[in-house]
Each structure stands twice: as C-alpha cells, then as structure tokens.
Amino acid sequence: MEYRIPHYFEQFRCVAAECEDTCCAGWAIMIDDASLERYEKLEGAFGERLRNSIDWKEGSFCQYNKRCAFLNEQNLCDLHLEAGEDMLCDTCKNYPRHMEEFEGLREGSLSLSCIEAAKIILGCKEPVEFLKMEDDIEDEEYEEFDYLLFTKLMDAREKMLQMMQRRDVDIMVRIGMVLRLAEQMQKAVDDNQMFMIDDALEAFGKMDELIDFQQESEQNAIGENEYCSHMRKIFRTLYKLEVLKADWPELVKHAEVVLYAEGQRAYEDKRQRFHKSIGLKSSNYDIWACWMEQLVVYFIFTYFCGAVYDEEILAKIQTAILATILITELSIAKWSEDGEDLSFEGFVDIAHRVSRELEHSDVNLLRVEKICRQMAQLQPKELQRVLYYPQK
C-alpha cells in the first residue's frame, strides 16, 4: 500500500484541556463497528455507563448540551481517563488526522477544523511537500474504480499544487488558473473526451496561458456595484449550511451586518482598507498570499481526487475557492470589528470555524457542491471576475 501525507502531518499534538475549541462538542462522534462491539462487552459500572451513553441506532456517542457524554468539566475525556487510549473509537483516536482512500493509495491530512491543526496548516511558511511511503499491506481492490480517471486527476492535482505554489505569480491569478483547468477537465469528462485533459495539462501554467488569462480577466473586469452584489449573495451561502455549532448562525449574521449593512460604498471602502492594511495591496502581501495558498492547497489535496467517485471535478475546486472567499469575507469583518487589525490567531479561528461547519457534515459538503453547480455567481466565468477584481 502506498501512502501520501503533507510534510507537517506528524507535527500535530493534542493540547487536550487547553484546547480553545474542543472537538468533543458541537458535532456527533460516530463510532466504528469494532469499537461498538468492544463497548457492548465491557463489564462493570463504567461499562454500564458506556452503553447508556451511546445512541445505538445512530452509532454515535450521546450528547448533552451539545457536548459528548464523556467530556467532563475539565474538558477531558472520561473514557480515555477510565479505560485508556486503546478503548477510544477510531474517530477519537485519529482526529484531526483525516484519511482519503483510493485503490492502492491512502492519503492523510490534518483537518483544518481542529484549531491546533489549523495553526500548523496555515502557519506553514514554505510550500507544502507531500511525502510518499509504502508498507507491506496488500492493496485493496475496488469494484468499478475508474483508474484512468484517477490517473488524470492525480496528474492534474500535481499541476494545480505546483501552480498554487508558484510565488512569482499573483495569488489570485494562481487560483484563477486552477479554476480554469478544473473547468476544462469537467468538460472533457462530461463529453467523454479524456484526451482533452492531456491537452489541457500540456498547456497548463505556461507563460502564454498566464498572459492570456490575465488579459481576459482585465477585459471582463467586474464593477464595484456588481462585485458587492456578488459577494453578498456568495456570503449568504453560509446560511444554507446545516448548523453544527449553536453559535454559528449568530456569528454569520453579525458578520453580514458588519460587512454589508451600510451599503455598497461603505463595504468597498472597508474592503480596500483591509487589503491595503494586511491583504493583497499591503506590505504584508507575502503573508496574506501564503495564508491563501495554504488554504487552497489544503482543499485541493484533501478533496480533489475524490472526484474519481462522483466526477464532480469542477465542483471540488469551486468549493475550495468558495471556502477561501468566505474565510476572507469573515476576516474582513473581524478586522473591522477589532480596530482594523487581524492577527494570525484571529485568521486561524475563522478558518477553523468555517471548516468545522463545512467539512464535518456530509449534508453540507453535498449541499455546497450543489450550490456551486447552480449559483450564477459561482460559475467559472463569474467566479474568475470576482477573483480578479482589482484591489485599488
């Protein structure tokens, strides 16, 4: 079996009770079948408590006030304390380590939804390297696994990651180029013309294509009024998510008021000041661009090749870009609220909150991909215009 992980994968260490946002609250913790079998057989008073604390129909731990039944007042796990680490279910043992499975390949990543993992992911200043390793475990065969498509996806992802890490190119151009490639690949798959993917990969990232893209973007520039309207509609996709943490709707509502309630001119002024202060037009451009790079690289590495199972190539990249846009908008709101200042810790908190709501609900992931397919403002042509909107 082959494995692939980002170079920072082994850096994670759980801080347990010191965690700012415990993973044992706010969402259902699913239990694997092997652990359920062990829990059913555990003897004694603690075994009785354990069985009474499981929703056997759902296969998850019960929650009280949105907290796992075993999360004590010190934010420590009673199951770990009483029965030992070996008694933890796979979810609790592995999180925030995430694994995507393909035929002959397992890919591990850290989850942005964990605030300590988010600090590692977004705090990485160098381009991410992806390490390969193998073991003697026999490869599992998958029925109807489209290995040809998977090969094309892997080749495309490598190109996308290389483009995202080209720091001599403007960060928004890099993102736009990745979106363009995804659009070309989706068309090739939809038309059953896989050879077109090879042509797209051959041209991708060359200087001529970069120049053409920039010229096209400048010719199709979006105006201030249209940009503000687009952004508000895009921002409101946050209301369409299944709520996992109770304070999420209020957080989103408050940020929308901060950003848009005073009208288009006030929003535009706020956005411009933000980018001149710490963003795309600031002396801190390299820092901000690195945060954006690491976000998109994270989403591409984690989810893009999953299109082998559903052929939703374009939607995977649209989702990555949508998440990045939403994190940026929430960052502008926080910057405005905090006296026009945004710390690394503040940005990490926003990113992990968006990830927590989006990535830990299959309902939300599917819902967002559907929104990306249907929403006019998220179609490639319009999304390119949003990405390349000038920061004056």
Give the pLDDT of residue 64.
Answer: 87
Instruction: Report the distance separating Cα 291 and Cα 297, nearest Å.
Output: 10
Pairing status of strand 60-61 against strand 54-55 = antiparallel
pLDDT, position 207: 87
Q: What is the pLDDT of residue 178?
A: 97
CA 31 to chain centre: 23
The pLDDT assigned to 65 comes to: 82
Position 392 scores a pLDDT of 55
3-state SS of the chain is CEEEEECCHHHCCCCHHHCCCCCCECCCCECCHHHHHHHHHCCHHHHHHHHHCEECCCCEECEECCEECCECCCCCEHHHHHHCHHHCCHHHHHCCEEEEEECCEEEEEECCCCHHHHHHHHCCCCCCCEEEEECCCCCCCCCCCCHHHHHHHHHHHHHHHHHHCCCCCCHHHHHHHHHHHHHHHHHHHHCCCCHHHHHHHHHCCCHHHHHHHHHHHHHCCCCHHHHHHHHHHHHHHHHHCCCCCCCHHHHHHHHHHHHHCCCHHHHHHHHHHHHHHCCCCCCCHHHHHHHHHHHHHHHHHHHHHHHHHHCCHHHHHHHHHHHHHHHHHHHHHHHHHCCCCCCHHHHHHHHHHHHHHHHCCHHHHHHHHHHHHHCHHHCHHHHHHHHCCCCC
Q: What is the pLDDT along the chain (392 residues), one digit of tens a residue?
A: 899 999 999 999 887 777 777 778 777 788 999 999 999 988 898 889 999 999 999 899 998 888 888 888 888 888 888 888 888 998 888 889 999 999 889 999 999 999 999 999 999 999 999 999 988 777 777 778 899 999 999 999 999 999 999 999 999 999 999 999 999 999 999 999 999 999 999 999 888 888 888 888 878 878 888 999 999 999 999 999 988 888 899 999 999 999 999 999 999 999 999 999 999 999 999 999 999 999 999 999 999 999 999 999 999 999 999 999 999 999 999 999 999 999 999 999 999 999 999 998 889 999 999 999 999 999 999 999 999 887 65
